[in-house]
């Protein structure tokens, strides 16, 4: 199951829970994460979560920023005739206003969402309609969305080069389509922080280096990138120090940095995994702690936000994966019942400067 299909299925599946009773968690007296951190602490959400009082209570206690997991993506917004449906995204924006949370827009242009309506457009209409979509979406949330993932995941899966997609084919390669999206987004909102977002940047040094080269080239060309997003879907088996090294390189641009989609799967996807639960949980804690410490080591002006990709384990998109993860994965800070896990206490202590 691809990430694209997981996201499409998620609104109906996110609240179903897992197939076995959650692992018992120790009783942890966790302070509010948002009160301990000197920067916004974010979480992703879908509209179905808003009908779950336990989720609302957990999120309002610990998080100060919200990223729509699905409802601001092109496949949700664009109807078959090219008109836009903001019903679901408006509901999440209203929830943020009610809870006094920051709203983060995710995502405008993503290689994985080549909407059929855009694919069918003739060449002489494509640029106009692309710009209309980006402009209309950003303008609708101007003054409410503090930032946007303008372009998502442009680097090739293995890190060797960049993805070819509908947008790159129509706008002359990776630089052309990224520059156009950022230029239009900046015209639509002169205040929002505009991010280039990607994943596996800490896990794969080749991909991290390709991302850094792309950012350098785009900035030199005048592209209005004003923030850098690293998703941080962490591989818990990567060597110690690899996360820290990448974060230092990322900081070299002097731009705000968003840890935008943190989770850390306990599952490897291997047919045979002889690691004990205790070993995997220790590896998970070590990698998440390293990320939190590396983020805290950034200059304060660069610590834009630290977002986890789901409030509870049962909310995680990894529960639906076939290539790892699965219904028993526990990749987040809170268990299925919303109880904090030891890794959440680690993060809170780091954020508090302990």
- As averages over each run of 10 residues, the pLDDT of the chain (354 residues) reads 45 41 67 97 98 98 98 98 98 98 98 96 97 98 98 98 97 97 98 98 98 98 98 97 98 98 89 87 98 98 98 94 78 97 97 83
| pLDDT on residue 26 | 67
Catalytic residue of the set 69, 71, 149, 153: 153
**pLDDT in the model for residue 320:** 81
Q: How far apart are CA 148 and CA 256, in angstroms?
A: 13
Q: What's the fold here for domain 3-9+31-340? A: TIM Barrel (3.20.20)
Look up 261 and say whether it is catalytic: yes
List the beta bridge partners of residue 197.
Answer: 152, 229
Give CA–CA dist 318/329, Å, rounded: 7
Catalytic residue among 71, 261, 263, 267: 261
Reference 167, options 106, 227, 115; nearest CA is 115
Place of tokens 């994943």: 199
* 233 vs 264: CA distance, rounded Å: 6
Q: Full-prediction pTM beyond 0.85?
A: yes
* 198, 267, 313, 335: the active-site residue: 198
Which residues of the chain form beta strands (DSSP E)?
41-45, 65-68, 102-110, 145-152, 193-198, 227-230, 233-234, 257-264, 303-308
């Amino acid at each position: 199951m691809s990430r694209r299909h997981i996201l499409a299925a998620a609104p109906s599946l996110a609240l179903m829970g897992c197939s076995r009773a959650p692992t018992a968690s120790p009783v942890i007296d966790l302070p509010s994460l948002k009160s301990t951190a000197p920067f916004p602490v974010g979480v992703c959400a879908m509209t179905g979560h808003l009908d779950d009082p336990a989720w609302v209570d957990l999120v309002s206690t610990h998080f100060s920023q919200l990223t729509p997991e699905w409802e601001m993506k092109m496949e949700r917004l664009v109807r078959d005739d090219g008109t836009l449906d903001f019903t679901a995204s408006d509901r999440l924006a209203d929830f943020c206003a009610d809870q006094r949370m920051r709203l983060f827009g995710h995502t405008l242009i993503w290689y994985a969402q080549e909407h059929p309506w855009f694919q069918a457009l003739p060449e002489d209409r494509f640029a106009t309609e692309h710009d209309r979509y980006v402009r209309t979406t950003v303008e609708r949330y101007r003054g409410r969305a503090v930032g946007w993932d303008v372009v998502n995941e442009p680097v090739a899966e293995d890190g060797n080069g960049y993805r070819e997609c509908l947008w790159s084919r129509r706008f002359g390669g990776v630089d052309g389509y990224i520059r156009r999206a950022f230029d239009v987004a900046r015209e639509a909102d002169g205040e929002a922080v505009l991010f280039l977002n990607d994943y596996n940047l800490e896990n794969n040094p080749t991909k991290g280096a390709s991302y850094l080269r792309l950012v350098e080239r785009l900035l030199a060309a005048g592209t209005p990138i004003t923030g850098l997003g690293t998703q941080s879907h962490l591989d818990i088996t990567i060597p110690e120090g690899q996360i820290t090294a990448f974060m230092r390189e990322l900081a070299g641009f002097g731009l705000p940095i968003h840890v935008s989609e943190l989770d850390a799967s306990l599952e490897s996807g291997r047919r045979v995994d002889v690691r004990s639960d205790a070993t995997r949980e220790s590896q998970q804690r070590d990698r998440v702690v390293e990320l939190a410490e590396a983020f805290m080591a950034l200059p304060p002006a660069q610590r834009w936000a630290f977002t986890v990709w789901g409030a509870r384990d049962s909310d995680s998109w990894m529960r639906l994966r076939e290539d790892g993860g699965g219904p028993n994965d526990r990749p987040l800070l809170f268990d299925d019942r919303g109880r904090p896990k030891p890794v959440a206490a680690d993060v809170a202590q780091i954020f508090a400067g302990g």
